[in-house]
A and B are shown apart, each in its own frame.
Chain A
């Protein structure tokens, strides 16, 4: 099956700022891809080019083999939410969906369907003014789902959601992808999407720094074990004998990359070295993410 999304040398310059710098990537159908990077990395700009809202300075992006704007009724194949707050406050949620649906021939009954899907049925005839942020987010999602799309593109969907909302979204996206559909979500917080995505694209300053599956990413930086002991030199020798590469942090502390605390503890025990402190550092995805993106910046 051909990839659902193809970007080739996608580039966007705003005056002096090179917001997106020569990005090329593909996204296969049935996957959930996390598009990650710190604020200002160029995620939103990339998505805007993908969705035909902004013209690339160079390169191009295709969805289902065509430029977004050249698809007949793109909203029937691609659902997208760029901002969680794109509503007229004086219009009801239902009318918001109806007006979008009518422009592409989607019947009003479909608006009611997606309202039920995002659990907004009771509020649907109230004006958006009175919606909470979570409700607005779900209304945005409902708009994206109106056309029963095969690809869902969400920019920072977890922003401002409470933990329950994040969980709801995760379950929803999993279900969506399990039907063979494709999801592309951006975030500047890895933890928000780590439990949802199959693969990650990490950008910083408009360029990719990592493009891999989540397992690869986790394995690649499997953490650094910090061990404080009564006899650092002896422990270091024992670790080296187990082909680990400890480095000295201070007189009593060693840092051991690529190991688990259990393994380091076992080696210390076997070597007869008393362990005073044993901890895994930098192993959370968040720390990995920060480390990767700050490396890029320095």
Chain B
């Protein structure tokens, strides 16, 4: 299993896809932190909740971590490398399991870069504009580590989703539509259901206090449950389907 994970991590590293995703992630986080940090008034940025929002922008890395997870699986179907992969490792559960774990580890990488960037720029803006830091250390740990955990789990969810769908374009579109269209709509219309969507579970995990969110621990459990659900559904399907 360790060998398989190593192989999967090499797949992540050996194309330019990952570098491209990292670049996109850095650009997007930079843009959002700068816009939020520079365009908001000093008064607004002085509230703890708004500082939390600013410093949680690094969690956008979850989008890229999830994309990397989707691509780790779907590019194998797109380019046919799934055939040699399964020939070398016929155990579908070992392959899928290793992909989910490798995507989680890659997600940790995305998370470290994204969080560090979001925090560094966000904190620099706050102190540069002479705003008093309003978060205590417990808040900060929850924000940073919760963010990191969420981003890593997004990698695993992406791999699970990719395994379910197999189609690369379909997987990417489904992921983005789910995260940016379906979940916000659902949360807006039926918050009692919408808060169980992974993006809102992640918000609760990192300690955002938006109305209707789950408690942080529950948010964490929901994220893990989504990961387990997607990965095991993907595995169940893969085990039954022929590799063509």
**A104/B17 in contact, CB under 8 A:** no
Establish whether residues B83 and A75, one from each chain, have CB atoms under 8 Å apart when the complex forms. Answer: no
Which of A22-30, A80-88, A167-175 lies at the binding interface?
Answer: A80-88
Question: How many interface residues does chain B have, given as a range?
Answer: 20 to 34
**A 36-60 contacts with B by CB, 8 A:** 48, 51-55
Interface membership of chain B positions 65-97, coded 1 if the CB is closer than 8 angstroms to chain A and 0 otherwise: 000000000010001110111111111000000
**A252 within 8 Å of B (CB atoms):** no
Given contacts A48-B243, A88-B15, A90-B17, contact A53 B87 (CB under 8 A): yes
> Which A residue sits closest to B242, measured CB to CB?
A54
Task: Please tell me which stretch of A92-100, A221-229, A274-282 contacts chain B, meaning at least 4 of its Cβ atoms lie within 8 angstroms of it.
Answer: A92-100
Interface of B is mostly: helix
Contact flags A127-157 to B (C-beta < 8 A → 1, else 0): 0000000000000000100010000000000
Bound Cα distance from A85 to B81, whole angstroms: 9
Nearest CB in chain A: distance from B192 CB, A: 43
**A105 to chain B: which residues have CB within 8 Å?**
3
Instruction: Indicate if the CB atoms of B242 and A48 lie closer than 8 Å.
Output: yes
A180 CB within 8 Å of chain B: no
Cβ of B124 under 8 Å from chain A: no
| New A-B pairs, 18, CB < 8 Å, besides A86-B79, A96-B81, A105-B3 | A48-B243, A53-B87, A53-B244, A55-B242, A75-B88, A80-B87, A87-B81, A88-B11, A88-B75, A92-B14, A95-B14, A100-B7, A100-B84, A103-B3, A103-B4, A103-B85, A103-B89, A104-B88
The 6 A-B residue pairs with the shortest CB-CB distance in the complex, in nearest-first order? A86-B80, A103-B7, A54-B242, A69-B90, A95-B14, A53-B243
Could you list 7 examples of A-B contacts with CB < 8 Å? A51-B87, A82-B83, A83-B80, A86-B80, A86-B84, A88-B75, A95-B10
